[in-house]
Amino acid sequence: MKTPRALLSITAALVAATLGPDARGEEKSSTVLSSQALQEIVQVEAEIDRIEAQAIERLAVPPGNQVQQIELLGKLMLYDKQLSVNRNEACAFCHMPETGFTGPVSELNRTTGSYPGSVRTRFSNRKPQSHAYAPLSPVLHYSPGQGDLVGGNFWDMRATGRRLGNPAAEQAEGPPTNPVEMGLPDSACAVYRASQRPYRALFESVWGRQAFAISWPRDMEQVCARPGPPPAGAPMPVHLGSLDRGRAGVTFDQMAQSIAGYEASAEVTPFTSKFDAVLAGKAQFTTQEQAGYGLFRGKAQCNACHRDGGPGEDPLFTDFTASNIGTPANPRLPYYAENRPDALGYVANPAGSSFVDGGVGSFLTKGQLLSQPSAVDQRWVKLAPGNQARIQVPTLRNVDKRPYPAFVKAYMHNGYFTSLKAIVHFYNTRDVLPRCQSHDVGEGTTCWPAPESTDNMNTSRVGRLGLSDAEEDAIVSFMQTLTDGIMPVN
């Protein structure tokens, strides 16, 4: 059963955001951002430029070790705005270190939930996931013992890792050609742009001189400046011969593998939280944190999905499966209003306000509307009904990492929640509190909206946990021990 949603009106206090610098993007759009959000975006972009400049300086004396060279390449590409259609958005725009490599703009997290793409009036249907610890996800597979799909990256597991053997690498291939993210019309455009960057020589040293030995058409600049999606009759608008197309595809894979290499490095995936320090005997939990950990592993049943490790198992605080916990729809998502052609004639969300996120089930049956980095294994289509509306269980590592105490983080796939306390309260009382009425002031405290979808909803470990307010707070206190940075990185 699906529930209708009402879109929240966007207030007149918001100011219009314009498209990128291409000549077709000068007109205004109905998608708007507040002045505070725009100011924060400028600050994030300046920080991206600073980090990129520091990484470029390292090219003067690159590491001698090939693994570290790949990590450096991956970092350079993650912070490279030139790999977006309007040369204005790096991957890092949605994945910054100060927030645990997820969304770094507090005002967007508080309001829109999702982030604007290179075409600044286009927004995704989901909030940014953290890419820290993502390379440790297994290749997507079916586990007969669990009776479940396990692994992959993205909220809907669509970066399966089945082709490259690495879900994080296939995840990295999604955003560059996603029309609402980096927006390039063809993956070859990412390769072409990379060939013009300062890291080209290091890339060729690591992956081979053939990487950019491609006969580019004369109209590359023009083609690659036109935001995707490509025309219906030309899915690969960059006209390359078969050998050059194959070479560009391999180089694009190697770019993605470099990014995954950086994400797997100790700079992004460090295991340096207080929890890790406690495991190492270098710290102790407070009384409240210890109580929260006990509840996490016991009464609250969190550990059933957000696993803290076991024999031969790292404490990654996810089991890499998917679940529908009954999260309400987030009416603040601009995606619901993207049902009309934008200035370039693109309609991101034909379903408009009736859109329901089908999660893993939709990926298995229809692919993903915005990006499809991995092919669907047709043998899994029969699993789609049992996976409808299910969303991958995220890691809880760095779940509370933020640059300052008042910074707002968004949680769950659609950013509906904006505090850990609210999430724990939802898990505890989803099936206890009444349904909210329209504009109910008690929403999130004394009532809950209906789930976005009740398909395959988890009713065994969510909804009626019997936790006291103090027990909810203790669980939050424990989750705050999962923030990296307590121990030094070796």
Residue 119 and residue 180: Cα distance in Å, rounded?
A: 7
Question: Whole-model pTM?
Answer: 0.93
Q: How confident is the model at residue 489 (pLDDT cuts 50, 70, 90)?
A: confident
Quick check: 172 and 259 in contact, CB under 8 A?
Answer: yes
Q: Would you say how long the chain is, in residues?
A: 490
Using CA atoms, how far residue 252 sits from 133, 178, 246, 259, 368, in Å, is: 22, 15, 10, 11, 20
Run of H or E residues at 148 = strand 148-150
Q: How confident is the model at residue 71 (pLDDT cuts 50, 70, 90)?
A: very high
Task: Say if residue 26's pLDDT is above 60.
Answer: no
Neighbours of 404 (CB within 10 A): 7
Q: Kindly report, residue by residue over 151-168, the tens digit of the pLDDT.
A: 999 999 999 999 999 999
Task: Say if residue 6's pLDDT is above 60.
Answer: no
Q: What percent of the chain has pLDDT over 70?
A: 93
Q: How confident is the model at residue 228 (pLDDT cuts 50, 70, 90)?
A: very high
Neighbours of 451 (CB within 10 A): 19
At 12 the pLDDT is: 29
In 58-131, the DSSP E strands lie at none
Q: Kindly report, residue by residue over 250-263, the tens digit of the pLDDT.
A: 999 999 999 999 99
Nearest partner of 48 among 96, 87, 85, judged by Cα = 96
For the chain, what percentages of helix, strand and coil (3-state, to nearest 5) are there? 40, 10, 55
In angstroms, how far is CA 30 from the centroid of its own chain?
25
